[in-house]
Structure formats: structure tokens, C-alpha cells
């Protein structure tokens, strides 16, 4: 039980960070980015490359992988999704069109990375790979560091959204896009920055995941996209607090099922999600 509590919380912190990025993208741009996990995969590969070739500390590489994927996310939003925003006559039409575009984006990123690395799984970047005791339970130190960093990054993102001018502009764009434009907010720039930040958060999560997991491949993205979707649907679409709470709930469910059989983890997670949605269709914090 102590192992489930500790390891479930660690997984929950990571899942929350992944979900916060996806929730931000959907909440501001109305783009349901099912290619979100591919940005996480890119963060893992960037960190691995800098660690193996140049000996860069995986935590230091966060300031490398994050900005690289942030710029990539902005470029993708401008080139691919901005046109869809212009031609879509409603939010529902934008969601359906962007969903198809994201499917294509998933396969493009996967195949480009697979072509470069020949699909060979990469091993983890061994960093702080020692155990420490917490309440008598041995826990790898790198997992503790990753969990703490995930929580810190999520809280910093909350503070940015809550107390900065860019955060205010994002919230205004969500609540009243026409009114936001009337007071001088360029909502198309806000869309691009929001999408880029979501990609950045996914890349940071991927950079830290490579510290604790091996066998990272170009095809790991969809697994984490599905988990992030489960988290934000459980917590409530567009709810930042919901992403945090939902992430920890899914983390506990995921780890508990992992101790039984690794092959049924996603099945258990989505069964749990379906039951909760039957009870509360809008999620825990949905409006």
C-alpha cells in the first residue's frame, strides 16, 4: 500500500504535467491535439541526444528541449492550424478538421523520427539512478526528482496563467474572443503561443521521462496522449485544477493496475474514466 501511494503520486505528477499542456492547447485554441504525445517523444529524443553525445545533464537539457519544441509548436500552429481557424465556421467544425490534421501530424512526426533513428529503442539517460527509502519503501531518486520538477513546472504554469499579462490575454481569448480583439489582443498570436506552450510542457515531460524509463521509441506518443485525454476529461475540459487532480487520480489507478498486469493498464484507466463520466458527465471540475 505504501508503494502504491508513493509511486502513484509520482506517476500522477508526471501525468498532470502532460495533461496541463494538452488542456491549455484545447482550452485556448479549441484544437484537440491528439499528436500531443509526439511532442513528448521529441523531448525525450532531444534530451537523450544531448546526454549521450555531449554529456549534458538531463535536467539542464530541459532548457534545450523545451525551447526547441516550443518554436516547433508555434510553427506548426501557424502553418497548419491557423488556416483551419480562418476557414472553420464554428468551434465544432474547427475541432473536427483539426482532429484530422492532428492524425496526419502524428504519423509525420513518428515516421520522420523513425527514419532518422531507424526505429531503434533508445535506453534511458541514467541520472540519479539510486534508491532512497521513503517510509520503508525503496524509491528511485530520479523518479522523486522528476515528480517534484513536474509539480513545480505545473505550479509555475498556473501562476503564469493567473498573474501575468499573457495569462490574462489567454483567459480573455477563451472567455470572450471578440471582446479580446476589441481591446487590442491579437488572438491569433495567443493561439500560436498557447499551442507552443502546450508543446513545450509535453517536451519537458518527455525530457524527464527518459531519465526514468528505457525503451523509448518513435511510437510511444499515442500512449501518453490517451492518458492525457483521460486526465483532462476526468478533471474537466479547460480546467487547470482538474488536470492536476485528474492526473493524480489516473496516476494511482495506472500504478495499481500496473502491479496486477502491465497489459491491462490502459483498459483499467479507461474503465475507471467511463464509470466516473456516467456519474459526472462534465468531469470533476467541468463547467
DSSP letters of 108-162?
A: HHHHHHHHHHTTPPBPP---S--EEEETTEEEEHHHHHHHHHHHHHHHHHHHHHH
pLDDT at 286: 67
Distance between CA atoms of residues 73 and 285, nearest Å = 28
What residues contact residue 85 under an 8 Å CB cut-off, 6+ apart?
29, 94, 188, 191
Contacts 24+ apart (CB under 8 A), 46-49: 46/203, 46/207, 47/125, 47/206, 47/207, 47/210, 47/211, 48/122, 48/125, 48/210, 48/216
- The pair phi, psi for residue 55, each rounded to 5°, is 70, 25
User: Is residue 186 left, alpha or beta, with left meaning phi > 0 and alpha meaning psi from -120 to 50?
Assistant: beta
Per-residue pLDDT of the chain (287 residues; tens, 9 = 90+): 777 788 888 889 999 999 999 988 888 888 889 999 999 999 999 998 888 888 888 888 899 999 999 999 999 999 989 888 877 777 778 888 888 899 999 999 999 998 888 766 776 666 777 777 777 777 778 888 889 999 999 999 999 998 999 999 998 988 888 888 888 899 899 999 999 999 999 999 999 888 887 778 889 899 899 999 989 888 887 788 888 888 999 988 888 888 787 778 888 888 888 888 888 888 787 66
Residue 125 grid cell: 539517460
At residue 176, the pLDDT reads 86
Give me the pLDDT at residue 119, please: 65
For residue 74, what is its C-alpha cell? 508555434
| Three-state DSSP state, 236 | coil
The pLDDT value recorded for residue 214 is 72
Q: How many CA atoms lie within 13 A of 115 on its CB side?
A: 6
* SS3 label, residue 283: coil
Give yes or no for a contact between 54 and 231, defined as CB atoms under 8 angstroms apart.
Answer: no
C-alpha cell at 94: 474547427
Measured in whole angstroms, the distance separating CA 130 from the mean position of its chain's CA atoms is 26
Q: Give the chain's domains with CATH numbers.
A: 2-123+132-279 (1.10.3470)
pLDDT tens column, 89-143? 777 788 888 888 999 999 999 999 988 887 667 766 667 777 777 777 777 788 8
Cell numbers at residue 190, please?
495567443
* Biggest alpha carbon–alpha carbon distance for the chain: 59
The DSSP element (H or E) to which 267 belongs, if any, is helix 265-279
Taking Cα atoms as reference points, which of 91, 93, 212 lies closest to residue 146?
A: 212
Asked whether the beta carbons of 252 and 244 are under 8 A apart, the reply is no
Amino acid at each position: 500500500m505504501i508503494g502504491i501511494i508513493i509511486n502513484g503520486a509520482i506517476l500522477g505528477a508526471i501525468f498532470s504535467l502532460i495533461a496541463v499542456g494538452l488542456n491549455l492547447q484545447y482550452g485556448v485554441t479549441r484544437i484537440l491535439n491528439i499528436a500531443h504525445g509526439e511532442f513528448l517523444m521529441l523531448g525525450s529524443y532531444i534530451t537523450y541526444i544531448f546526454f549521450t553525445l555531449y554529456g549534458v545533464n538531463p535536467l539542464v537539457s530541459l532548457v534545450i528541449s523545451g525551447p526547441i519544441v516550443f518554436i516547433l509548436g508555434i510553427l506548426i500552429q501557424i502553418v497548419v492550424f491557423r488556416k483551419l481557424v480562418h476557414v472553420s465556421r464554428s468551434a465544432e467544425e474547427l475541432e473536427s478538421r483539426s482532429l484530422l490534421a492532428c492524425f496526419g501530424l502524428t504519423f509525420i512526426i513518428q515516421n520522420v523520427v523513425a527514419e532518422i533513428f531507424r526505429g531503434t529503442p533508445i535506453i534511458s539517460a541514467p541520472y540519479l539512478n539510486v534508491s532512497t527509502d521513503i517510509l520503508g519503501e525503496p524509491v528511485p531518486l530520479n523518479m522523486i526528482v522528476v515528480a517534484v520538477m513536474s509539480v513545480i513546472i505545473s505550479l509555475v504554469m498556473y501562476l503564469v496563467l493567473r498573474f501575468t499579462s499573457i495569462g490574462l490575454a489567454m483567459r480573455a481569448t477563451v472567455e470572450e474572443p471578440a471582446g479580446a480583439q476589441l481591446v487590442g489582443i491579437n488572438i491569433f498570436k495567443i493561439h500560436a503561443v498557447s499551442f507552443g506552450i502546450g508543446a513545450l510542457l509535453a517536451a519537458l515531460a518527455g525530457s524527464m521521462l527518459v531519465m526514468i524509463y528505457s525503451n523509448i521509441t518513435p511510437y510511444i506518443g499515442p500512449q501518453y496522449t490517451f492518458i492525457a485525454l483521460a486526465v483532462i476529461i476526468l478533471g474537466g475540459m479547460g480546467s487547470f485544477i482538474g488536470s492536476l487532480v485528474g492526473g493524480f487520480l489516473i496516476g494511482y489507478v495506472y500504478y495499481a493496475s500496473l502491479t496486477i498486469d502491465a497489459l491491462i493498464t490502459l483498459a483499467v484507466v479507461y474503465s475507471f474514466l467511463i464509470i466516473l463520466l456516467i456519474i459526472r458527465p462534465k468531469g470533476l471540475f467541468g463547467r
